[in-house]
Structure 1
Amino acid sequence: MNQTLPAWYDRLMKKYPVVTTAEWLLLDSIATVKHIKKGDSFLRYGKVARYSAFVISGLFKFTIVDEEGNEKIVKFGFADDFLANCESYNKRAPSAISIVAMEDAVVLRINIKKLQPLYDLHMNLLHVNLQLYQELMEQQSEHQYILSLKTPLQRYKFLLERRPAIIQKISLTNIARYLYTSREALSRARLFLLDRTRNFCD
C-alpha cells in the first residue's frame, strides 16, 4: 500500500477493495481527521448535515427522541462504519437524528459537497456510495424487523444470534434503547437466557 496514506486506510481498502489507492488518496485530500469526545455529537438534531465520515476508532449511536422525551437508538456505528444523514443533506432539512460518540472517537470527516462531484469522475466511488446506501437500507429493515418481535427476550435473542458485536460492545442501557424496551425487561431476558444456557451445560 502507498505509504503516504495513514495506516487506517488498510482496513478501508479491505472493506471496499473496488476503490483504488489513487482514489483513496483523492478522498484523503478532501478529508480531515477529527477527534470527538464521548458524549459529543458528530451531527446534532435540528442541524443540516454537511459532513459524512468513516469511523477510525470509537463507537457512535444514531438517536431520536420520542414524544415523551425518551432517547431511542436507531443504529450504531462501529470502527470502519460510515456516518451520514443523506436525507438531511439532500433535502437541506434539519436532521431528525443525532449522531453521538459513545466513547472517545476519531473519524475521517468528509465535506459531502466536495465528495459528490467525484462520483461523476470515479465510478468506483459511486459504487461504494451505492453499497453504503444499500447497507443503510438493510440495517433499517433489520431494525424494523427486530422491533416487530413481540417480547424483549425475542429481540435480545436476535441480537445475540445475529449481531453479537452489539451485545459485546454496547451497554445494556443502550441496547434497551435500541430494542425500544426498558433496561429492567432486557435484564430479565438476559438472565433468563444465561440461566437456560447454564442448565443446558449442566
Structure 2
Amino acid sequence: MTLPPYYQRLIERYPQVSLEEWQLLDQLATVRYIRKGEHFLRVGTVARNAAFVLSGQFKYSFHAEDGAEKIMKFSFADDFLTNCVSFNNNKPSYQNITALEDSVILRFNIKKLQPLYDLHLSILHVNIQLYQDIMQQQAEHQYILSLKSPLERYKFLLKHRPMLIQKISLTNISRYLFTSREALSRARLLVAEDLDNQNAWGCP
C-alpha cells in the first residue's frame, strides 16, 4: 500500500512511527477541505476528531463576556488540530477552532485511534508528545499575557515567534495578545522608531 505524498511530512516529524503503522493510520483518516471562516470545532460541541493540517491556517478562539474575541492559539501546516480537554472529559468545547484561510486537513476520529495506543507504543508516544506540545504552547501564551504592556508582548513575538508577525493579520495578533488593535499599532510603531534610531546611530 502506497501512502499519499503528504505522509512524508508526518514520517519526518514522527520517525518513531513505522511505515506499516502510518498505513494503518491512513485507513482511519479522511482528507477534508475547510473554507475560510468554517469551524473545525465549534463552541458548545464535544470534540470527536483530531486533524493534521496539510495546508492553511487556524485559530483557537472564544468570545469574552463583553463580546470581544480572544485568540488562544494559531495552527499552521504540519500542526495538529485537537481539543483534548473537550474529548477527554466528554464536555462541550469552550473554544472555536476556525480556518483563517481555505485549508486542507487530514482528519482522524479520536475514538477509533484510542485502541491503537495499547497495541502500538510509538503511536501512543506521538499522542503524549502532542499533549506536551499543547501544554508548552499554553504555558508560553500565559507568559506572554503576564507581560504588562502591548509593547512587551509584541517584542516577545518579534523575538520568539516572528512567523506569527509575518503570517497573521494585525487584528488577529491583537486578539492573541489580548489588547486592542490601536494599542498594538502604537507598539509596532515604537519598535520601528527604535530600529530607525539604532540604524541612525550606527551610520558612519
Settle same-fold status: TM greater than 0.5.
yes
Deviation at 1:160, TM superposition (A): 0.5
SS in 2 for 1:147: helix
Count of aligned pairs: 200
SS in 2 for 1:116: helix
Q: Percent identity?
A: 63
Aligned with residue 103 of structure 2, among 102, 105, 113: 105
Deviation at 1:123, TM superposition (A): 0.4
Deviation at 1:129, TM superposition (A): 0.4
- The letter of the residue matching 2:195 is T
- Once the two structures are superposed, residues 128-167 of structure 1 have per-residue CA deviations (whole angstroms, 9 ceiling, x without a partner) of 1000000000000000000000000000000000011111
Q: Partner of 2:73 in structure 1? A: 75
CA distance in 1: counterparts of 2:138 and 2:72, whole angstroms: 8
Q: Which moved more, 1:29-38 or 1:4-13?
A: 4-13
Q: Partner of 1:135 in structure 2? A: 133
Aligned with residue 7 of structure 1, among 5, 14, 34: 5
2:61 pairs with 1:63: yes
SS in 1 for 2:198: helix
Deviation at 1:65, TM superposition (A): 1.0
Q: Partner of 2:194 in structure 1? A: 196
Q: Partner of 1:52 in structure 2? A: 50
Deviation at 1:79, TM superposition (A): 0.6
Q: Partner of 1:165 in structure 2? A: 163
SS in 1 for 2:15: coil
Q: Partner of 2:173 in structure 1? A: 175
TM-score (norm 1): 0.97
Deviation at 1:200, TM superposition (A): 1.2
CA distance in 1: counterparts of 2:20 and 2:170, whole angstroms: 42
CA distance in 2: counterparts of 1:14 and 1:168, whole angstroms: 25
Q: Which runs of 5+ in 1 are unaligned?
A: none
Deviation at 1:83, TM superposition (A): 0.5
- The letter of the residue matching 1:162 is H
Q: Which structure: larger Rg?
A: 2
- Once the two structures are superposed, residues 78-99 of structure 1 have per-residue CA deviations (whole angstroms, 9 ceiling, x without a partner) of 1110101111111111111000
Q: Which runs of 5+ in 2 are unaligned?
A: none
SS in 1 for 2:27: helix
Deviation at 1:15, TM superposition (A): 1.2
SS in 2 for 1:159: helix
- The letter of the residue matching 1:29 is Q
**Deviant stretches of 4+, over 4 Å:** none
SS in 1 for 2:98: strand
